[in-house]
Amino acid sequence: MIRGLRSRTHGVGSVAVSSGSAAAVSVGRGLRDAGSLSANEAVAYAHSMTTPVSDSALMLRYADGDAAAFETLYRRHNDALFRYLLRLCGSRAMAEDVYQEAWTRIIRARERYRPTAKFTTFLYRVAQNCFIDGTRRNRRYGGGPAPADLLCDGSGPEEATERANLRQRLFDALADLPFEQRDAFLLHEEAGLSIDDIAHTTGVNRETAKSRLRYANVKLKKALAENANPAAHGSDHD
Amino acid sequence: MIDGEIGSSAEQDVGKLYRSLAKEKAPEPLDQRVLQHAKRAAKREDTRWLRWLRPAIAGAVVSISLIVVAGQFDLWNLTPPASGDGDVVQDFDDAARESSARIREFGGAVTPQVLNPDSLPADTYQNVAPSTSTYCREAQIAGRAAWEACISALHTSGRDAEANEERRKLHAAFANKSP
């Protein structure tokens, strides 16, 4: 769950679980000591401030018309989803289109949304479907990843060249994976989904999802090892 | 470090490496577009009922138009026909009223035995042949038209047998006779 919360910014109402809990407890204790809150109230206050509202609850609030709830939900998942689609699509232009389409469908589906599964599972399934539709509809995207675009993350020119090379190799190896393995890997790393959730999202059984994820990791490690020497180009396709 | 071993620790290494290298963020303009869309959609939530307004208005217009057109062409058959059975019924009613009025005029005491045959109109049955009318005894005194009206009244009241008997008598009485 924490791995899934990769947002670097905090929207209205969102709480950073790891850094805010101590502060909230401290504030609650202070209010109790000052007589503003009873002991039970202070505990309840600290609890409410450290327990983030679930994604499903936010989505249901948005369905009732609370736009601020949607913003909180969006800020939690926007960056991770964008990176997921960026790696999946291999093209920034397509990734942005698919990304916008995915959120548009989420917004439209708010009235029909039922928290029968994790919101993240729902979100990434919608994103997958948008990616598939985008691939069928727009052949113009085509081609492979544009390394410059994919590496554009706002980091300064002072970033170590070796790190940049490592990133390039990793992303190239990721792009070389079969779609299902790449998808499983990204769902695990970006969305923070468990193997069961990956299986549910992709519509396969647990063993298949586990197998895909394992092979993805093996191939990535192999590719990184083979490409560690810049002179040794080429990837090993299984 | 990277030795190709399959295992959870190896997977975690790759995952950890990926997470440390993948730093891209969603473009802010894209964020704003999505959030604006979400806000507009949430606002439309309040006026959701308006979605049904246009179809409801269209349905009402079509329904009213159909009712008006149907009324114009009398598709519901609400008004009685101008001719045919309606006229006949009206004629029977008029004749029955006329017959009743003329019968009352002559009073219950008027009988063929009492009446002076010489004072009767030329077209009465008494001038033609001895009276054998059973049900329209008084009506025949007023004339053929009244007798016909009486027969019609009998038909109207469902006494077809009596009406047919009276008609036979009338035809017999006025055979070869002009009214």
pLDDT digits (tens, 9 = 90+) for A113-160: 888 888 999 999 999 999 999 888 766 555 444 444 444 455 555 557
| Distance (Å, whole) CA B17 – CA B3 | 15
SS3 A55: helix
> Which ranges of B22-159 does DSSP label H, i.e. alpha helix?
28-46, 53-72, 85-106, 125-128, 139-142, 144-156
Say if CB B5 and CB A37 are below 8 A apart: no
For A221, which of B2, B24, B45 is closest by C-beta distance?
B2
* DSSP state for residue B81 in the 8-state scheme: P
More confident residue, A31 or B66: B66
pLDDT score, position A6: 44
User: Chain A contacts of B41, Cβ < 8 Å?
Assistant: 107-108, 110
Question: What is the DSSP secondary structure assignment for residue B112, as one 8-state letter?
Answer: T
ipTM of the complex: 0.70
Structural contact between residues A221 and B4, judged by C-beta atoms closer than 8 angstroms: yes
The model carries a pTM of: 0.55
* Spatial contact of B38 and A67, defined as CB atoms under 8 Å apart: yes
In the prediction, which pLDDT does B39 show? 94
Q: Which chain B residues have any C-beta within 8 angstroms of a chain A C-beta?
A: 2-4, 6, 10-11, 13-15, 17-19, 21-27, 30-31, 33-35, 37-39, 41-43, 45-46
DSSP character at residue B80: P
Report the alpha-carbon angle A234-A237-A238, nearest 5: 155
CB A115 within 8 Å of CB A86: no
Question: Number of A:B CB contacts under 8 A?
Answer: 110
* pLDDT higher than threshold 90 for residue B117: no
Instruction: List C-alpha distances in Å: B94 to B125, B145, B172.
Output: 22, 12, 25
CB-based burial label for B130 (10 Å; 0-12, 13-18, 19+): exposed
Segment B147-171 shows an average pLDDT of 90
